[in-house]
Amino acid sequence: MSETTTRGELEPDESTLNRANDATAHADSFWAAARSELEGLPGGGLNIACEAVDRHVRAGRGATVALRWRGKNGERRDFSYAELASLSNRFAHTLHQLGISKGDRVCTLAGRIPELYIAALGTLKAGAVFCPLFSAFGPEPVRVRLSKSRARVLVTTALLYQRKVRAQRVDLPDLAHVLLTDSGGAEPGVHSFHALLDAESDAFTLPFTAPEDWALLHFTSGTTGTPKGAIHVHEAIVAHRLSARLVFALRPGDVYWCTADPGWVTGVSYGIIAPLAHGVTLVVDEADFDAGRWYALLEQERVNVWYTAPTAIRMLMKGGTEPARGYDLSALRFAASVGEPLNPEGVRWGQEALGQPFHDTWWQTETGAILIANRHGQELRPGSMGRPLPGITTAIVRRRPDGGIDRLDAGEEGELAVRVGWPSLFRGYLDDAERYQACFADGWYLSGDLATRDVEGYYWFLGRDDDVIKSAGHLIGPFEVESALLQHPAVAEAGMIGKPDPFAGNIVKVFVALKPGYVASAALHKELLGFARTRLGPAVAPRELEFIADLPKTRSGKIMRRLLRNRELGLPLGDLAVLDTDVTPTC
């Protein structure tokens, strides 16, 4: 039996690491060395925003452009590190004036606008917990996340507040303040974001935050129950910063562009924290995908490092290689992919069209940072997830009935597991200790992803062992989709699966069983799709719907989505009488 640990040319404090006698000591020494590269706070404290912004100002780099914002209507604005430090200080002051205490949750519901980045950094400086929400969610997913997080403050736009939050304020007793980024307050508890900031001083004394203090709350869907809130601490920046250097070879002076929406973990870990921690210029584009706009941005901003998603890559591939050749992309040094497995064709297309292949990376909301990757300067194997980063120990395992695990050899298929101990590992699921504990066995984090490892330590993704799907890079769980459809008076049962799609990876498809008295028809089909879209938003709502007499279920009542997938492939549902197993979903 075997496991894999790799080391690389960019590891800190090589002599310290060479003295480690086993994998655990090796990892401990490695991460201690990485931690020593940060400035920290007096008394052993640590604060993500301080490391990402303020330390550069104190080092004399305050005039460097930290954030270059490109508005969807052609606007362009630069924020220096000094300006970002000042504005985030003002927001931290604002939170204290509003009575926000250490550990309180501050949510954002907005697209890629400057105010979101200011709010994120200011929240962390204030000692509160930053919780981003995806702006394309419908009212119900927004309400669930605001309620579960017990958010005290929401930063959003007037339009999003009116459409998705205002009517639900009565169901959100913890939500004391809403800050609108583009208008004034028109009702109690609703304020102008900018008016509050303008009234505060930028001379802010950072409160003490310990490395293990909560900093980030990211919601990720599961196969059962409501969305899970993964808790991350300030110590996570150690892995954010180092992984960006190890994988992207990111360094001061670089121009970096991450296309991920800040409503998701990638848009925070690698769309805010990691690049700013390296003192680079972070490009932020407010607009939606447009191939011509993207190529022009890469050329005009002289982007050196680009982190995007397979869905976007496939959309670019649809136009062929010729459009890219009309632009000067010579500044691009490294391109990487995140969100779902990247097929070999995408890797090769990047080399042909951009002059740089796309390097796939693997990590999860729960891991907090990249753990496996095709790294800068190492051999790239198209279709592979890559190899573990230094300080990370991984293995392919099989779960035993007694709760333990067996490690498997190269070439065997099993579950990808990671030895615990890296700084960005999540510290819990909000209000769900049992589900959190189920993610671990024998000192390993069990990812729920199925994979294999070859003899040279490269990992190859096979699929998920649960029913969560990724569509256009967004993680979508059945519970929310099915629950929304069940609100329609005609729907008795609903079951969701992911249907393979050449551009989105998967699209959401639902099977619906109707209540007595209702008859399947084209009109009802259209009505149900519109009903779900209104409640869930276009990113989560089903694209396809099929009527079915009965959903296959276990004897305990759990939907057997595996059999629904079989049906999609044209296979029979099987004998429902023998479906008496009850599978406990992984984390």
- Under the banding of pLDDT at 50, 70 and 90, the label for residue 196 is very high
The pLDDT score that the predictor gives to residue 537 is: 92
**Residue 548 confidence (pLDDT) above 90:** yes
CA 405 to CA 374: how far, in whole Å? 27
The pLDDT score that the predictor gives to residue 341 is: 80
Beta strands 153-156 and 105-109 are: parallel
307, β-bridge pairs: 258, 336
**Residue 18 confidence (pLDDT) above 80:** no
pLDDT in tens, 161-179: 999 999 999 999 999 999 9
**Residue 20 confidence (pLDDT) above 50:** no
Which of residues 227 and 389 earns the better pLDDT score? 389
pTM: 0.84
Phi, psi of 526 (to 5 degrees): -65, -40
CA 464 to CA 450: how far, in whole Å? 6
CA 176 to CA 101: how far, in whole Å? 13
Beta strands 305-308 and 334-337 are: parallel
Residue 226 Cα distances to 38, 158, 303, 338, 477, angstroms: 37, 27, 39, 25, 9
Q: Say which CATH number the domain at 559 has.
A: 3.30.300.30
In a domain, 453, yes or no: no
pLDDT in tens, 247-287: 999 999 999 999 999 999 999 999 999 999 999 999 999 99
**Residue 7 confidence (pLDDT) above 60:** no
Q: Give mean pLDDT, residues 520-544.
A: 95
Q: Give mean pLDDT, residues 300-328.
A: 93
The pLDDT score that the predictor gives to residue 343 is: 81
What is the helix (H) or strand (E) element at residue 156, kind and residue range?
strand 153-156
**Residue 143 confidence (pLDDT) above 80:** yes
161: left (phi over 0), alpha (psi -120 to 50) or beta: alpha
Can you read off the two tokens belonging to residue 449?
């992803």
The pLDDT score that the predictor gives to residue 5 is: 38
- Under the banding of pLDDT at 50, 70 and 90, the label for residue 327 is very high
Domain residue limits at 561: 469-578
What's the longest Cα–Cα distance across the chain?
Answer: 75
The residue ranges of DSSP E strands in 393-518, in sequence order, are 393-399, 405-407, 414-419, 428-429, 440-441, 444-453, 459-464, 469-471, 474-476, 491-501, 505-514
User: What angle do the packed helices 310-318 and 344-354 form, to 10 degrees?
Assistant: 60
pLDDT in tens, 482-506: 888 988 999 988 999 999 988 888 9
What does DSSP assign to residue 279? T
In a domain, 307, yes or no: no
In a domain, 391, yes or no: no
In a domain, 505, yes or no: yes
Domain count, the chain: 1
Q: Is 300 helix (H, G, I), strand (E, B) or coil?
A: helix
Cα angle at 439 between 435 and 445, to 5 degrees? 155
Q: Which amino acid is at 379?
A: E
* Least confident residue range of 223-227, 382-386, 440-444: 223-227
* Torsion, CA 77, CA 83, CA 87, CA 89, rounded to 10: 160
* Least confident residue range of 235-239, 309-313, 532-536: 309-313
pLDDT in tens, 89-122: 999 999 999 999 999 999 999 999 999 999 999 9
**What is the residue-averaged pLDDT of the chain?**
89
The pLDDT score that the predictor gives to residue 558 is: 63
Taking alpha carbons only, the member of 451, 77, 47, 439 closest to residue 276 is 47
pLDDT in tens, 441-473: 999 999 998 899 999 999 998 766 666 777 887
In a domain, 8, yes or no: no
The pLDDT score that the predictor gives to residue 466 is: 64
* Least confident residue range of 134-148, 173-187, 431-445, 454-468: 454-468
pLDDT in tens, 365-377: 999 999 999 999 8
- Under the banding of pLDDT at 50, 70 and 90, the label for residue 21 is very low
* Least confident residue range of 27-36, 229-238, 261-270, 573-582: 573-582
**Residue 555 confidence (pLDDT) above 60:** no
The pLDDT score that the predictor gives to residue 79 is: 98
Q: Give mean pLDDT, residues 569-586.
A: 43
Taking alpha carbons only, the member of 239, 367, 244, 366 closest to residue 306 is 244
Contact (Cβ atoms closer than 8 angstroms) between residue 375 and residue 385 = no
The pLDDT score that the predictor gives to residue 585 is: 28
**Residue 567 confidence (pLDDT) above 90:** no
